[in-house]
Structure 1
Amino acid sequence: MSTDEFVARSHILHRTFSERPSKIVKGDGISLILENGKRVIDASCGPSVSCLGHSQPEVFEAITNHLRDDIAYVYSGSPYTNAATEELADILLADKPGGLSKAIFVNSGSEATDAALKLAVQYWHERGQPKRTHFIGRKQSYHGNTIGALCVSGHESRREFYQDFMSSNVSFVDPCYAYRMKNANESDEAFVQRLAQQFENEILRVGPNRVAGFIAETVSGTTLGCLPAVPGYFKAIREICDKYEVLLILDEIICGMGKTGTMHAWEQEGIRGPDIQTIGKALGAGFVPLSGVLLHQKIFDALSAGSGGLAHGHTFQAHPLACAAAIAAQKIIKRDNLIERSRIMGDKLEALLRKEIGPHPLVGDIRGRGLFWAVEFVLDKDMKTPFPINANFCSQVVKNSLNLGLNILGNLGHTGEYQVDHILVCPPYTVTDGELEEIVSILKIAINQTSRPFVEQVQDGFVEGRL
Structure 2
Amino acid sequence: MSHVFPRSMKSSPPRAVRGEGCYLYDDTGKAYFDGSGGAAVSCLGHGDPDVIAAVQKQVQSLAFAHTGFFTSEPAEELADLLISKAPGDLDRVYLVSGGSEATEAAIKLARQYYIEIGQPQRRHVIARRQSYHGNTLGALAAGGNAWRRAQFAPLLIDVSHIAPCYEYVDRHDGESAYDYGQRAAQELEDEILRLGPDTVMAFMAEPVVGATMGAVPAVEGYYRRIREICDTYGVLLILDEVMCGMGRTGHLFACEADEIAPDILCIAKGLGAGYQPIGAMLCTRQIYEALENGSGFFQHGHTYLGHPVAAAAAAAVFKKLDSQNLVSRAAMMGEKLHTALVERFGQHPFIGDIRGRGMFQGLEIVADRETKTPFDPDRKVSARFKTAAFEAGLVCYPMAGTRDGKYGDHVLLAPPFIMEDEQVTEITDKLAQALATATG
TM-score range relative to shorter protein = over 0.9
Contact 1:156 1:414 in 2 (8 A): no
1:12-411 aligned at under 5 Å gives the runs 12-68=4-60, 70-78=61-69, 80-168=70-158, 170-271=159-260, 273-411=261-399
SS of residue matched to 1:123? helix
Shift of 1:326: 0.7
TM-score by length of 2: 0.98
Structure 1: give runs of 5+ residues left out of the alignment. Answer: 1-8, 453-467
C-alpha RMSD over aligned residues: 1.3
Shift of 1:394: 2.0
Whole-Å Cα distance in 1 between the matches of residues 303 and 226 of structure 2?
35
**Once the two structures are superposed, what CA deviation does each residue of 1:6-27 show, in whole Å capped at 9, x if it has no partner?**
xxx3211111111121111100
Q: Which amino acid aligns with 2:157?
A: S
304-313 or 27-36, which deviates more: 304-313
**Once the two structures are superposed, what CA deviation does each residue of 1:279-324 show, in whole Å capped at 9, x if it has no partner?**
0000000111000101111111211221122221111111111001
SS of residue matched to 2:197? coil
**Once the two structures are superposed, what CA deviation does each residue of 1:249-297 show, in whole Å capped at 9, x if it has no partner?**
00000000000001011101122x0000000000000111000101111
Whole-Å Cα distance in 2 between the matches of residues 417 and 57 of structure 1?
40
Contact 1:196 1:237 in 2 (8 A): yes
Contact 1:48 1:282 in 2 (8 A): yes
TM-score by length of 1: 0.92
Shift of 1:197: 2.1
Contact 1:389 1:414 in 2 (8 A): no
Q: Which amino acid aligns with 1:73?
A: F
Contact 1:154 1:416 in 2 (8 A): no
Contact 1:76 1:313 in 2 (8 A): no
Change (3 A) 1:46 1:96: closer
Whole-Å Cα distance in 2 between the matches of residues 49 and 447 of structure 1?
24
Contact 2:236 2:264 in 1 (8 A): yes
**Once the two structures are superposed, what CA deviation does each residue of 1:76-95 show, in whole Å capped at 9, x if it has no partner?**
122x2110000000111025
Whole-Å Cα distance in 2 between the matches of residues 383 and 358 of structure 1?
15
Contact 1:224 1:420 in 2 (8 A): no
Shift of 1:196: 2.2
Corresponding residue pairs, total: 440
SS of residue matched to 1:94? helix
Q: Which amino acid aligns with 1:406?
A: L
Q: Percent identity?
A: 43
Whole-Å Cα distance in 2 between the matches of residues 417 and 142 of structure 1?
11
Whole-Å Cα distance in 1 between the matches of residues 408 and 210 of structure 2?
12
**Once the two structures are superposed, what CA deviation does each residue of 1:367-411 show, in whole Å capped at 9, x if it has no partner?**
000000010010101100011111111221221111111111111
Off by >6 Å, runs of 4+ in structure 1: none
Greater gyration radius: 1
